[in-house]
Amino acid sequence: MNIKEVKVTEVGPRDGFQSEKTILKTEDKIDIINNLIEAGFPRIEVSSFVSPKAIPQLADAESILSKVNRSSKTTLAALVPNSRGALRAVEAKLDQIVVFLSASESHNKKNVNRSVDESLQGFRDIAEIAGKNNIPIQGDIATAFGCPFEGNISSKKLANISKEYKQMGFKGVTLGDTTGMATPVVVKDAINAIRDNVPDFNITLHFHNTRGVGLANVMTGLNEGITDYESCFGGMGGCPFAPNATGNICSEDLIYLLHEMGIETGIDLDKTIAIAKKVESLVGHKLPGQVMRAGHRLLSYSMDEVPTAVGA
């Protein structure tokens, strides 16, 4: 592996907050996003321009975009499901539109109430609006590594959707592991299928740690030369329209791993840990992140802080 730099996208304000029962105050979300920009994240998914009936937690996308402290170093991205969402995104001066569909027909129906072909057709209208306004598009594929309703997803299907994305002029494809069904074998297969059929198309990996193999999947991605990953503060996250969907891989844990491997991210780990702790206190329950609790590996303690075993 000869990777020196990785781009980490923080998806917490979208993937994390959409999965919380409590709806956070807009001011608190803005504060967290400002902290993320300050910590050096090159790209943040700040919200979604979806129907507030589908995701009431993200109904304040416009307010957020009008009030955050923008920086030329951070791309602000958000999910857009249809033309209406694209027009809202243009009005809000979003930096990057993220369109999304599920590789599985059944999850796509649950999530956006249409077939995969209908979704792709709708993306052409979004691309037209985005093109006129010079807004780049990233194309997500949810349930890319397995679907809770349909099981395995063929890598050919991922390649075919990616081909359509490339033809529509998208920047790249994000493979989303909505319910944590990815394994190193499945990930490698998906990357190879896309590379073989859609050369020179950027691949981003978005893993959930549902079955504890999130960072192992990242290692597979790194070994295959993938340099773009998405993660969430404290390991929050999950899709409300998929059974047993739990948290994304955790941003602090991922950044810690990358830095320890000598891979640059440009992100301040201490600031990221502080953000995870702040989010934890805002949502009022324990988050699954580990480095936010354990700290750096060379964090040193005074021996007086720890009791000595009886009889030692």
Nearer to ligand COA, 129 or 186 (CB): 129
Please, how many CA atoms are within 13 Å of residue 303, restricted to the half-sphere of its CB? 2
Say whether residue 252 binds Zn ion (CB under 5 A). Answer: no
**According to CB under 5 A, which residues from 13 to 42 bind Zn ion?**
15
Partner that binds at residue 214, options Zn ion, ligand COA, none, CB closer than 5 to 8 Å by kind: none
First to last CA, the chain: 45
Say whether residue 45 binds Zn ion (CB under 5 A). Answer: no
Pairing status of strand 137-142 against strand 228-231: unpaired
* Residue 225, number of CB atoms within 10 A of its CB: 12
Cα angle: 92, vertex 240, 180; to 5 degrees: 105
DSSP 48: E
Partner that binds at residue 85, options ligand COA, Zn ion, none, CB closer than 5 to 8 Å by kind: ligand COA
Cα dist from 199 to 23, 106, 120, 149, 175, whole Å: 41, 29, 20, 30, 16
| Minimum distance from residue 25 beta carbon to Zn ion (Å) | 23
| Minimum distance from residue 76 beta carbon to Zn ion (Å) | 18
DSSP 66: H
Partner that binds at residue 4, options ligand COA, Zn ion, none, CB closer than 5 to 8 Å by kind: none
| Minimum distance from residue 143 beta carbon to ligand COA (Å) | 9
Nearer to ligand COA, 30 or 112 (CB): 112
Binding site for ligand COA (CB under 6 A): 18, 48-51, 53-55, 79, 81-82, 84-85, 88, 100, 111-113, 142, 239, 241
- Catalytic residues, by residue number, are 239
Cα angle: 253, vertex 256, 257; to 5 degrees: 85
Nearer to ligand COA, 40 or 235 (CB): 235
**Can you give the binding site for Zn ion, defined by CB under 5 A?**
15
